[in-house]
Structure 1
Amino acid sequence: MYIIGIAGGSGSGKTTLVDGILSRIPREEIAILPQDAYYRDNSDIPLEDRFKLNYDHPDSIEWELMSKDIESLKSGQTINCPTYSYLTCARLEETIPIAPKNILLVEGILIYTSQMICDQLDMKIFLEVPADQRLTRIIQRDMDSRGRTALEVIDRYYKTVRPMHEEFIEPSRQQADMLVMGGGLNEKAAEFIAAAILEKLK
């Protein structure tokens, strides 16, 4: 199994890049493991308090479980990937079975802040996108799919998203083997990465 990490700040287009790669590779050859599935379960605290938690800090992720699942996939075992609701800020009861494939894409904003995860990756890609462009995408995404108003998104951005990006995510780009300028909208990067994957599959 060849494991590729795709990281970058919130709104940098990780999902778009992954979709661009998947459109060029036989789907049966690739498994995807999203960092967001591994947010710690906070269902034991009141909903109002959950909304106040900092979900852009590395401590918000259950790295030990994520690392264990990566190792299980590497050893040929199917895992039960957790699921998480952005609306309730809690882990759901449902899990998603993920079978081992020749290629594993691990994606998330914080994955390079965990040395444990970095050590499991064979290739590390970081999406480089200016802050103003990322903010525009964050506002649109969170309003469309996470039930937030523009004011709520902007308030959260300046309180946690931007500070955490500057403290943790931006420095973690030093771990990357490859920088993708323009993020997920860089179709040439998707073509290049897909070509590299196809070469590995040979």
Structure 2
Amino acid sequence: MENSNIILVTGAANSGKSEWGEYLVNNSQKPVIYIATAQKIDNDEEWMLKIKQHQQRRPKKWQTWEIPFDLPLAIEQISEDNCILIDSLGTWVANFLEEDEFNWQMQVEKLIFSLENTSNYIILVAEETGWGVIPAYPQGRLFRNRLGKLIRLVGSIANTVYLIVGGYAVDVSKIGVKLDNLPMLEAL
């Protein structure tokens, strides 16, 4: 079921997808709730710098919720008439890599249910990981596969999907063909 309030923004690392998501929510004329899914890793200077850069770009009037795990519950708890920016699905997936497939699928089902049943505007930022080499280690392949399937599933219920590439935000939902009735999607 497509939800006209959902926008998916996807692209490669450092493509500008977070900035595009921030632009969209800033122009929504609604109160903004920024959901950060990343976990702080104090001994990783590069990661902490990236988090700091994201924080510095946010207007002070935005609420920030740090939700590394229970994203579906957070979506359900936000009152109506807000604009929610979730950044990012990739870090949310990474937070669940230790979960077995059954528990992971339960998380995905809860997320999709919460997205389909909210009246808030939601912009989700997600990293494209499947365009490079196949990861040489099992956890890397698991991450790539889970994120790729999740992006496809979220894209199937989103009203608009942007691909950020080469400094452009491309509305692929206007120029592409939606693959929402394929048997593979039903099996996810």
Larger-gyration structure (1/2) = 1
Which structure shows the higher helix fraction?
A: 1
Q: TM-score, normalised by structure 1?
A: 0.41
